[in-house]
Amino acid sequence: MGVFTVVDSKDVERAADTVSVALTVNRRGHHLDLDPRTTLLDALREHLHLTGSKKGCDHGQCGACTVLINGRRINACLTLAVMHEGDEIVTIEGLGAPGSLHLLQAAFVEHDAFQCGYCTPGQICSAVGMLDEAKAGWPSHATADVAVPATTLTDAEIRERMSGNICRCAAYPNIVAAIREVAEGGRR
């Protein structure tokens, strides 16, 4: 005689609606069973408990959810987790640690580049990606001559390149100062 298991039909329905996703976040592998419609932001916050990336507008307009995917900045609220198998995902938690801050994290502290702090993780992740873009010679709308790679980032260049990240407290002058310091080789 066999053993019978009572299964709730909702559990069967829920299991059929999930997909297995392998994500590499902050150099650690994770295997998750997710609804295929789960955003990367929700996977990070709700399933991996990495709450540094914030849900601000949930429409890709504020930048609070910015993370790095293969070194490029992306709004985690606008992409699905299932799209990032095999990618290197870095959140604010993966940039530095309390005893060993990333250069930009230390510069943000030094320049008091935050007030409430809600946007700060997205600002810092975006700044990391932005500095890499500038170093690679990518122009911005503020670049005077796109045929000549910028050797230094002006405040106008930094503001333009960071325009996808909104700070409701208006700490912009300090954010620009922190990024400029790192761009100019400070905090080494």
Residues 144 and 74 in one domain: no
Neighbours of 21 (CB within 10 A): 20
Q: Whose CA is closest to 36, among 82, 84, 78? A: 82
Check: CB of residue 159 under 8 Å from CB of residue 176: yes
DSSP-assigned beta bridge partners for residue 22: 31
Alpha-carbon span 23 to 87, nearest angstrom = 7
Check: CB of residue 73 under 8 Å from CB of residue 125: yes
Mean pLDDT, residues 175-184: 96
pLDDT per position as a tens digit, 155-168 = 999 999 999 999 99
> What total of structural domains would you count in the chain?
2
Alpha-carbon span 142 to 136, nearest angstrom = 16
Domain limits for position 159: 103-183
Residue 148: pLDDT band with limits 50, 70, 90: confident
Residues 29 and 65 in one domain: yes
Q: With 90 as the cut, is the pLDDT of residue 182 above it?
A: yes
- The verdict on residue 10 lying in a domain is no
- The verdict on residue 13 lying in a domain is no
Here the CATH number for the domain that contains residue 149 is 1.10.150.120
